[in-house]
């Protein structure tokens, strides 16, 4: 269902709850992934997702329709997650990274047995060392495959700056792994 139809349902007292349920059904999976990549913890991501939907429910009347409804919700989720990270002095310690760097792994391990836990640990370490903005852009592009044009609206940053952030993050991860991050 498109944004206009969902908004029409939400703005009608009789169908508000049904419209909101549709909205949640259409956005929940992607928002969860976004939040989870930022905080790393399933429990924290679930809690934040719930907070985001409460905020969306309370603020839906202020949605100006300047962008897609999903973009507006994403922005709320992003801001809530950043505020959570700042308020908890949270440091990203994810262990679910699965970056495909086969050539780096093979060049640093040569005929050694590859230990998946060490690879995940090295990748987690590499991503955690990125500045927050690069980490966010990298996660959005690599894991969620969000186009730079859409990120531009979500993050209020130019497309070229986002592309630069992504490529710098990618290079830093590769450099880290090539220069000792993958010690077997």
Q: Higher-confidence residue: 17 or 142?
A: 17
- Asked which of 79-88, 93-102, 125-134, 142-151 is least confident by mean pLDDT, the reply is 93-102
Domain 3-87: which CATH number of 3.40.640.10, 2.60.40.10, 1.10.1740.10, 1.20.120.160: 1.10.1740.10
Is-contact 94 37, C-beta < 8 A?
Answer: yes
pLDDT in tens, 17-61: 999 999 999 999 988 988 887 777 788 889 999 999 999 988 988
* Per-residue confidence (pLDDT) for residue 119, from 0 to 100: 66
Q: Higher-confidence residue: 166 or 109?
A: 166
Q: What share of the chain has pLDDT > 90, as a percent?
A: 20
* Per-residue confidence (pLDDT) for residue 120, from 0 to 100: 64
- Kindly indicate the confidence band of residue 131, based on its pLDDT and cuts at 50, 70 and 90: very high
> Which CATH code fits 102-181?
1.10.10.10
- DSSP states of 9-77: HHTSTTTHHHHHHHHHHHHHHHHHHHHHHHH--HHHHHHHHHHHHHHHHHHGGG---SS-HHHHHHHHH
Q: Where in the chain is the domain with CATH 1.10.1740.10?
A: 3-87
Is-contact 75 83, C-beta < 8 A?
Answer: no
CB atoms within 10 A of CB 128: 14
- Kindly indicate the confidence band of residue 118, based on its pLDDT and cuts at 50, 70 and 90: low
pLDDT in tens, 146-175: 889 988 988 899 999 999 999 899 888 888
* Per-residue confidence (pLDDT) for residue 64, from 0 to 100: 85
- DSSP states of 69-104: HHHHHHHHHHHHHHHHHHHTT------------HHH
């Amino acid at each position: 269902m498109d944004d206009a139809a969902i908004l029409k349902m939400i703005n009608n007292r009789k169908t508000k709850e049904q419209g909101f349920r549709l909205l949640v059904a259409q956005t929940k999976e992607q928002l969860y992934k976004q939040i989870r990549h930022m905080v790393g913890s399933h429990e924290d991501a679930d809690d934040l997702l719930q907070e985001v939907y409460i905020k969306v429910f309370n603020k839906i009347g202020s949605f100006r329709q300047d962008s897609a409804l999903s973009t507006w919700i994403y922005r709320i989720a992003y801001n809530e997650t950043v505020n959570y990270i700042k308020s908890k002095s949270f440091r990203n310690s994810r262990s679910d990274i699965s970056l495909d760097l086969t050539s780096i792994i093979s060049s640093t391990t040569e005929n050694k047995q590859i230990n998946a836990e060490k690879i995940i640990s090295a990748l987690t370490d590499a991503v955690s060392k990125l500045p927050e903005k690069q980490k966010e852009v990298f996660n959005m592009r690599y894991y969620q495959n969000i186009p730079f044009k859409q990120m531009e609206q979500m993050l209020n940053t130019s497309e070229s700056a986002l592309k630069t952030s992504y490529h710098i993050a990618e290079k830093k991860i590769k450099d880290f792994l090539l220069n000792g991050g993958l010690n077997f």
